[in-house]
């Protein structure tokens, strides 16, 4: 509208638009279920990593105990062999033995000392493993004390295989991957289904 002063005046116009999806082929449901499965898989993976870390610590712990016990027994073997070598040497000087008898004990002593070096190396490797798994601060202070355990499984193989299918974390993670793949396939097929939208409009006409 043109006024006497020559300025234009325009009436205010208000407009509101709203849209709400009522149906999109269940894609939101599939995506939600996929997220739930991924969270469950992540929890299984975390528990598996915690289990593996614990088993690694237990392995080095028992390796340490085994090497320590073996060193004690090997020391006893070295002491016995040394005593027998002295007896053989005494018999040789008395004319009741030969140099071959002494050489036999010397050779055995050399082999025992070689075994001792290997056991001491295994013991140090177990120490390094504990520091690696527990951390340098804790692992360097740990001195495993205990006895080697002898465990036996009670039951038949079929029962353990049945338990394996329901409790093994690797199988569980594989099952989660299969379920996620199936939901992703269903979500892809759902794109071909019709979409239902609810719309509302409001405003002022010119």
Question: Do residues 116 and 74 touch, judged by C-beta distance below 8 A?
Answer: yes
Question: Which of 23-27, 42-46, 166-170, 174-178 has the largest mean confidence?
Answer: 42-46
Q: How far is 42 from 103, CA to CA, in rounded Å?
A: 64
Instruction: Return the higher-pLDDT residue of 9 and 171.
Output: 171
pLDDT band at 1 (very low <50, low <70, confident <90, very high): very low
SS3 content of the chain, % helix, strand, coil (to 5): 70, 10, 25
Q: Give the contacts of 194 (CB within 8 A, at least 6 positions apart).
A: 23, 25
Q: How many Å apart are CA 170 and CA 45, to the nearest integer?
A: 8
Q: Average model confidence (pLDDT) for the chain?
A: 76
Angle (CA) 60-63-69 rounded to 5° is 145
At 115, is the pLDDT very low, low, confident or very high (cuts 50, 70, 90)? very high
* pLDDT of 2: 39
Contact call for residues 148 and 69 (beta carbons, < 8 A) = yes
Spatial contact of 187 and 48, defined as CB atoms under 8 Å apart: no
Torsional class of 95: left (φ above 0), alpha (ψ -120 to 50), beta (otherwise) = left
pLDDT tens-digit profile of 49-75? 888 888 888 888 889 999 999 999 999
- Tokens encoding 157: 């193989």
């Amino acid at each position: 509208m043109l006024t006497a002063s020559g300025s234009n005046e325009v009436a205010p116009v208000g407009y509101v638009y709203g849209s709400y999806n009522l149906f999109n082929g269940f894609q939101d449901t599939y995506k939600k279920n996929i997220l739930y499965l991924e969270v469950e898989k992540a929890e299984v993976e975390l528990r598996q990593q915690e289990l593996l870390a614990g088993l690694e610590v237990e392995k080095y712990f028992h390796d340490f105990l085994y090497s320590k016990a073996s060193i004690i027994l090997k020391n006893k073997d070295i002491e016995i062999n040394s005593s027998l070598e002295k007896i053989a040497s005494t018999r040789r000087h008395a004319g009741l033995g030969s140099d071959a008898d002494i050489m036999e004990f010397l050779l055995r002593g050399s082999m025992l000392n070689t075994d001792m070096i290997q056991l001491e190396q295994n013991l140090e490797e177990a120490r390094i493993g504990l520091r690696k798994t527990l951390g340098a601060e804790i692992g360097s202070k740990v001195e495993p004390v205990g006895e080697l355990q002898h465990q036996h499984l009670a039951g038949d193989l079929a029962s353990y295989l049945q338990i394996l299918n329901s409790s093994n974390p690797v199988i569980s993670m594989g099952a989660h991957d299969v379920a996620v793949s199936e939901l992703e396939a269903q979500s892809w097929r759902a794109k071909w289904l019709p979409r239902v939208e609810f719309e509302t409009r409001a405003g002022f006409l010119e």
